[in-house]
Structure 1
C-alpha cells in the first residue's frame, strides 16, 4: 500500500460475453472482497478495490498505483464516508472531485454511488457532504443511496452503527451497485427513424369572373330633370338660386319660365353698376 491503509484488489476471471465492472471504495466493500456476500449472477462480472479506513485522497493514491490487469468496461466509485470525520465538507468535495478525475483519466466509463448513512454521525452533516459530492460529480452519473437505508430500520447496520450488516444492509447495497452498473452499461435503443411528414396538398384556386347586373336610367319625361341612377337610389330635390350678378336679365327670364326659383321677381335684384368711363 502507498497510503498506509491496507487494501485488497480482486479481479474476476475473464469470461467471454461478460462485461467487467470494477468497484472502488472503502471498508463497505469488505464483505464482498472477503466473499461473505456475492454479486447477482448476470451478464456482468465484478472486481473490487477496497481500501478500509481511507479518505477520498487516499483512495485516489491507491487507484493511481493499482495494478489492474485489464481495462474494465465501467468503474463504480463509492463516495467515501470516512471524510465525514477526517476533513471538512469543502476539502472532502475537492478530494472527491480529484478521485473522480483520476479514475476518468485512467478508465473510460466512470460513475459514482452514494455512501450508506451512518447511525453515529449527525444526519444533517451527512446530507451536506452528499450534496457536495453530487455537486462536484456533475460530469458523471451519481446514484443516490440514502433513501434505501431508513435510519429506523436498525437491522441494516452492524453493532458499530457505521458498517452495514452482512445480510440485510449489504444485501441492499449489492442491489444498488448491480442496478447502477446495469444502467450505466445499458445500450440505449436505436433512435427510430422518423419519416418526413408529407406536405398538405396545395388547394388550387380558380379565378372567377363575377358579372354584376347593371342598371340603366329610365328615360326622363323632362329633359332637364336630374335622376339618380343605381339600385335603391333616392331622388332628392335641389335648386340653384338665380343670381342676376351671374346671369343677364334675358337669361333669367328664360330660366324662370323653365324652372321657377324662390325669388319673387327680377326686380328684387339690382344689376351691378357699370364702371364710369374716364375722359
Structure 2
C-alpha cells in the first residue's frame, strides 16, 4: 500500500529535524547519503539555497523509508506501519491518531478527554477503553504506539512511578512523533522534561482536550486530516449535542474543498441528528452564507 501524503510529510519532517539536531550529520555526510540514492546534492554553484527537503521531494516510498531508517535509526517497519494504520482496528478510520499515555488510576478522566477530542476528529487511544475484548492487551498497546501519529502524556504522580508509562514515553521519543505533555500536576522526568509544558491540574476534561486540540491543529501535517476527522465525527454523531459541537468546530475552518462541501451536505441529509438539529443549523448557516454556499444544502445524491 502506498504511503499516504501525510505520512510522507511526517517522515520527511522527522528526517529534517534529525539532521538539524544531530551534529554528526554534517554537510559532507548528508551529501554522501543523497548521492547513494541518486538525489541532487546540497550546495555547489547555482544551488546554494537548495535544501535537503528539495532534494528528496520526489523520491519513491521505498527510498523514503530506507533514508528515514538511516537518518533516524528507526526500523523501516515503523514507517511502513503508518501507511497501514487505517487497517488497524485500534483506531477510528479518518481520525488523527493520538496516543494518550496515563496511569490506570486516571483512565476515567482521560477517557472523558478522549470523548471530547473525538468530537473534533481526533481519536485519543486510551488503554483498556480503546482496546478490543478477547485480544492480547499488550499487543494492542504496541499496535497503538507503532501506528500513532502523535503522543500526549498526562503526567500525574502515578504516571511517574509507572514503568509502563515511562516505556510509552520512550517509544514516542524513539519514533520521533510529535509529542505533548499536560502536567496534572506532576512535571515529567527524563528527556521529555526539558520542555516547559502547560499545567492542567485546575482544568476539567474539556479544557485539557482543548489544549490538545489547539496543539494538534497547529501542525500542518494534520490540517487536512482534521477536516476529514471532523466530517467523520459529524457523520457518526448519535445525538444533537455532539453534532452541534462538531458543527461549531467545522465552522472555524477557513474553507472546504468542493468534495468536502458535498460530503458535508450528504451528512446533513443522511444523519437526522445533524439535519434536524437546531444547534447544527445555527453553527453552519452563517458559515455557508459567508462562503457563498446554498443553505440548507442541496442533497448531492
Q: If the length of structure 1 is used for normalisation, what is the TM-score?
A: 0.28
Higher helix share: 2
